Amino acid sequence: MAQELLDTHKTKWLVLDWHKRQESRASVQFQIETILDKRTEINDRPLYNQKCHVVYQQIYDSYYGSGRSLYTLNQ
């Protein structure tokens, strides 16, 4: 599931300066919620919201857009 999120987001939504545009941030958040909703069976809404937030925060903190990420800075 995590790989699907990253593969989809890196090419489609994590574009240059995606952090700066509300529309881009909202799109990333929506896609995370959609994928987690399809792939998990969390019946506890606060727990689901927390998991969505944690995944979004990880992507926000780690992926800058245009193929740049925390994980590729030294490459």
Taking only the tens place, the pLDDT of each residue in 6-37 is 676 666 666 677 888 898 889 889 988 988 88
d(CA 7, CA 41): 22
Provide the pLDDT for residue 18: 80
Residue 2: pLDDT band with limits 50, 70, 90:
low
Contact 63, 15 (CB under 8 A): no
CA distance 38 to 13: 19
pLDDT at 74 over 60: no
Instruction: Give start and end residues of each alpha helix (H) in 13-44.
Output: 22-39
CB atoms within 10 A of CB 33: 17
